[in-house]
Amino acid sequence: MSVLTFRGGVHPKEGKELSKSAPIRKVLPGKEVVLALGQHIGAPASPTVAVGDYVLVNGKVGAAQGAVSANIYSPVSGVVKAVEPRMMANGLKVNCVIIENDDKYEKAKDPFKCDGSKNSILNAIKEAGIVGMGGAGFPTHVKLSPKHPKDIEYIVVNGAECEPYLTSDYRRMIESPEVIVEGLNIILSLFENAKGIIAIEDNKMDAIIKMRGYIKNYDRISIKTVYTKYPQGGERTLIKAVTDREINSKMLPADVGCIVNNIDTVCAIYQAVKNNQPLISRIVTVSGDAIKNPCNLEVCVGTSIADIIEEAGGFKGQPEKIISGGPMMGTAIFDINTPVTKGTSAILCFSKDEVAKHEASNCINCGRCVDVCPAHVLPARLALHAEHGNVDEFVKMKGLECCECGCCSYICPAKRNLTQSIKTMRKSVLASKKK
């Protein structure tokens, strides 16, 4: 069995043993459900309900605006209490539809139907409000509508799950391999020249064996084993590992004949196309050393993060750090009384903030940040240019190629926060380019 990989990367403590054996458990939301209208890349959805309206499960509460946007649906039945800005986990305020859950879970009739034709499949994915559920939040129907569909040669399903502690994709592969394979088969029906690849890290051998058993009757689908290393599941690093093709920051995967989708996204596609089911829930890993019972939960979008922490038994003492997503690329949570969104892959609670406890010292020119950088740039030099506001030098030294993976900060013995400096500069350069 060949094990594929990319150049660079790091091996952080995996932490997956905490939750990997916990089967996915469905939890119902509490009394109040907060549905953010902007939980995807692109224009926020526009509310389709008003205060006092009664909504049903699968009822649309937000309509996509423009080409890059996504619909929002209710996971509960109940009355709309408010349409107002609410704080999200990242501290930003976003317009939301707030529903008082009546606990009846009365269902709306199917909001869309799919007859299996290409147009109908794409329409179902669009209508269902599916976005990249690995955290990117890019509307999936746009991703699956490249300019030249005939040039797409590989549909890659990202089962690497390279972020430490995360086990939701692993549980999906163990518990519902048929949904993943069938979801990928649906995507393949849109691209007649494409092959399907499910890429899984070699720390999940049981998932590899299980998935292999389910692809036997699908001759366009194969399983590729990738080396356990962070950021193996990054779009660029995954494409490099499984197809040996390379993209840079100016290119899309489709430019090299590839489309990459996350495991949960593929499952959502299956549900939309086969069951006319809009995206109203997702799998969230709740873990970390400050959580009593680490687990994998199927959670409705709009559920309070505080409620799902309770579902995991609550805290073991006071956590110093709570993160939405993985520890390498996730974002610190400002307030746990904020809602789960379509992009919330994990809630991680740690008793110690490992980053805050180290003070940065001077660079000792050890070169380790260069060795681990999967974008093959010079992180120490880029961070210096970023800190001094040298935009031209930053761009000249390929600062925009950074994928913000965090490997350089992780490995740096001087504990320099290289990623943050580079990330801030990238954001400002990209924003000024847009203007």
Per CB under 6 A, residues contacting ligand SF4 are: 363-369, 372-375, 377, 379-380, 402-408, 411-414, 416, 418-419, 422
Q: Rounding to the nearest 10 degrees, give the CA dihedral for residues 77, 81, 86, 90.
A: -20
Contact 171, 207 (CB under 8 A): no
Please report how close the Cβ of residue 338 comes to ligand SF4 at its closest, in angstroms.
26
Beta-strand relationship, 346-350 and 321-324: antiparallel
Phi, psi of 120 (to 5 degrees): -70, -35
279 touches 130 (CB < 8 A): yes
* CA 384/CA 362 separation, integer angstroms: 11
Give 45 or 369: the residue with its C-beta nearer to ligand SF4.
369
Rounded to a whole number of angstroms, the minimum distance from the CB of residue 381 to ligand SF4 is 9
Closest distance between ligand SF4 and the C-beta of residue 329, in Å?
9
Q: How far is the CB of 356 from ligand SF4 (least distance, A)?
A: 18
Q: Phi-psi category of 317—alpha, beta or left, where left has phi over 0 and alpha has psi -120 to 50?
A: left
Beta bridge partners of 72: 62
Dihedral over Cα of 405, 253, 273, 175: its sign: negative
Cβ 401 to ligand SF4, closest distance in Å? 7
Asked if 200 and 207 touch (Cβ cutoff 8 Å), the reply is: yes
Q: How many CB atoms lie within 10 A of CB 231?
A: 25
CA distance 180 to 214: 9
Between 35 and 408, whose beta carbon lies closer to ligand SF4? 408
Pick 78 or 327: Cβ nearer ligand SF4: 327
Closest CB to ligand SF4 among residues 209, 251? 251
Task: Give min distance, CB of 265 to ligand SF4, in A.
Answer: 23
Q: Is the distance from CB of 232 to CB of 158 less than 8 angstroms?
A: no
Q: How far is the CB of 129 from ligand SF4 (least distance, A)?
A: 31
